[in-house]
């Protein structure tokens, strides 16, 4: 595996690469969820590129940009073991030599869920992913469904801008106790870590109720999820929403269309997200 730190260098390296090129953009601190994306790209593509870049544009002024975990040596080792050909690890000044005056905004999808409590976050995500796609020019780009709103934003951006890349959604990976894998899980104290498993339990309980027909309305499902999460004393709910997916519009009847049940909850200073997608009548 080759580590490349400049835009010119990665473009030159990929100029003669075999196609298709699969790309996994990350902020590093790689865990098994990231590795699963790399391994899928390895199975499907001739060349695999992983980027590690902690993007300042997607962090708010009170968020954890300075303390976000960074360990490029470990990320490089894990990437190579998973089958990566090129690791693109630019410095902030390489991608943003001057404060950017151009931002990418995907309207409608970014003013709810995480976008409501993190204004400007998805503008930062869309902007950096757009830049990376132009730099790497992959045939396929891989994203996990844990960040389902991010996935919806990137899918819509690539469609609206006619970017020649296929966005590949990949399943959420979970720990043995059901907690969705996240780079932020390392921030949890042992007690917070134990209580955080309530997220998956709440979503699983709602899923069971929806599948058996006991719940058919979005507001009922959301209420059940909230009530279950509140059984964890340290859980502070940011949001629980049941919306259409990927359009993220308000819905009433769950079975009319594909919907997402999504939640964001704080445990101490750590904000975790999780979700489940329920198919509509035509997909079930």
75 touches 29 (CB < 8 A) = yes
Question: For the segment 37-47, what is each residue's pLDDT rounded down to a tens digit?
Answer: 999 999 999 99
Question: For the segment 185-199, what is each residue's pLDDT rounded down to a tens digit?
Answer: 989 999 999 999 999
**Which one has a higher pLDDT value, 68 or 83?**
83
Whether the model clears a pTM of 0.85, i.e. scores above it, the answer is yes
Tell me: pLDDT of 64 over 80: no
Query: How far is CA 108 from each of CA 156, 168, 236, rounded to the nearest angstrom?
Result: 11, 22, 26
All residues at 6 or more sequence positions from 180 whose CB lies less than 8 Å from its CB, including other chains: 33, 146, 172, 173, 174, 199, 200, 272, 273, 274
Question: Six-digit token pair at 205?
Answer: 């309980």
Tell me: pLDDT of 280 over 80: no
| Domain housing 10 | 2-170
Q: Residues 162, 196: one domain? A: no
Tell me: pLDDT of 256 over 90: no
Look at residues 141, 170, 199 and tell me which one is the last residue of a structural domain: 170
Q: Residues 27, 162: one domain? A: yes
Residues above pLDDT 70, as percent of the chain: 99
Considering the domain boundaries, does residue 281 fall inside one?
no
Distance CA 245, CA 240 (A): 15
Considering the domain boundaries, does residue 49 fall inside one?
yes
pLDDT for residue 168: 98
Q: How many domains does the chain have?
A: 2
Question: For the segment 147-164, what is each residue's pLDDT rounded down to a tens digit?
Answer: 999 999 999 999 999 999
Calculated CA dihedral for residues 201, 203, 39, 183, nearest 10 degrees: -70
pLDDT for residue 63: 81
Binding residues for (R)-pantoate: 58, 150
Considering the domain boundaries, does residue 178 fall inside one?
no
Q: Residues 34, 160: one domain? A: yes
Average pLDDT over residues 86-103: 97
pLDDT for residue 61: 82
Q: Residue 62: pLDDT band by 50, 70, 90 thresholds? A: confident
Considering the domain boundaries, does residue 158 fall inside one?
yes
Average pLDDT over residues 52-72: 88
pLDDT for residue 283: 47
Q: Residues 66, 8: one domain? A: yes
Q: Residues 132, 160: one domain? A: yes
Considering the domain boundaries, does residue 56 fall inside one?
yes
- Indicate the average pLDDT of the chain: 95
Average pLDDT over residues 241-269: 95
Residues above pLDDT 90, as percent of the chain: 91
Residues forming the active site: 34
Tell me: pLDDT of 284 over 70: no
Q: Residues 49, 126: one domain? A: yes
Residue ranges with strand state E in the chain:
2-4, 21-26, 47-52, 86-88, 140-144, 166-170, 235-244, 259-267, 270-278
Distance CA 201, CA 179 (A): 9
Q: Residues 111, 61: one domain? A: yes
Binding residues for beta-alanine: 58
Distance CA 159, CA 155 (A): 6
pLDDT for residue 281: 65
Question: Six-digit token pair at 84?
Answer: 């990566």
Q: Residues 50, 139: one domain? A: yes
The CATH code of the domain that includes 268 is 3.30.1300.10
Considering the domain boundaries, does residue 282 fall inside one?
no
Look at residues 128, 146, 170 and tell me which one is the last residue of a structural domain: 170
Average pLDDT over residues 239-262: 95
Tell me: pLDDT of 262 over 80: yes
Binding residues for ATP: 27-34, 144-147, 173, 181-184
Mind giving me the DSSP string for 11-51? HHHHTTPPSSEEEEEE-S---HHHHHHHHHHHHH-SEEEEE
Look at residues 109, 141, 170 and tell me which one is the last residue of a structural domain: 170
Q: Residues 136, 262: one domain? A: no
Give the HSE-up count for residue 111: Cα atoms under 13 Å, Cβ half-sphere. Answer: 6
Considering the domain boundaries, does residue 175 fall inside one?
no
The CATH code of the domain that includes 151 is 3.40.50.620
Q: Residues 83, 137: one domain? A: yes
Question: For the segment 1-23, what is each residue's pLDDT rounded down to a tens digit?
Answer: 999 999 999 999 999 999 999 99
Q: Residues 193, 163: one domain? A: no
Binding residues: 27-34, 58, 144-147, 150, 173, 181-184
Distance CA 146, CA 33 (A): 9
For 217-234, give the secondary structure using H, E and C.
EHHHHHHHHHHHHCCCCC
Q: Residues 142, 50: one domain? A: yes
């Amino acid at each position: 595996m080759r580590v490349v730190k400049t835009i010119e260098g990665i473009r030159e390296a990929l100029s003669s690469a075999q196609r298709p090129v699969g790309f996994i953009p990350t902020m590093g601190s790689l865990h098994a969820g990231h590795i699963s994306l790399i391994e899928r790209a390895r199975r499907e593509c001739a060349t695999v590129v992983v980027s590690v870049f902690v993007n300042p544009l997607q962090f708010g002024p009170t968020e954890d940009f300075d303390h976000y975990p960074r360990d490029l040596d470990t990320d490089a080792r894990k990437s190579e073991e998973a089958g990566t050909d090129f690791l693109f690890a630019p410095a902030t000044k390489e991608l943003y030599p001057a404060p950017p005056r151009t931002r990418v905004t995907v309207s409608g999808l970014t003013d709810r869920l995480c976008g409501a409590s993190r204004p400007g976050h998805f503008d930062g995500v869309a902007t950096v992913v757009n830049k990376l796609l132009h730099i790497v020019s992959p045939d396929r780009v891989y994203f996990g469904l844990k960040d389902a709103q991010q996935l919806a934003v990137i899918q819509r951006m690539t469609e609206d801008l006619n970017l020649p890349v296929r966005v590949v959604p990949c399943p959420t990976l979970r720990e043995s106790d059901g907690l969705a894998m996240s780079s932020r899980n390392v921030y949890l104290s042992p007690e917070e870590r134990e209580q955080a498993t309530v997220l998956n339990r709440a979503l699983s309980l709602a899923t069971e109720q929806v599948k058996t027909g006991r719940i058919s309305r979005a507001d009922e499902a959301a209420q059940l999820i909230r009530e279950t999460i509140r059984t964890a004393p340290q859980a502070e709910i940011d949001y629980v929403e049941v919306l259409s997916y990927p359009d993220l519009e308000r819905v009433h009847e769950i079975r009319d269309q594909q919907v997402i049940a999504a939640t964001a909850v704080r445990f101490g200073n750590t904000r975790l997200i999780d979700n489940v997608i329920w198919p509509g009548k035509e997909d079930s």
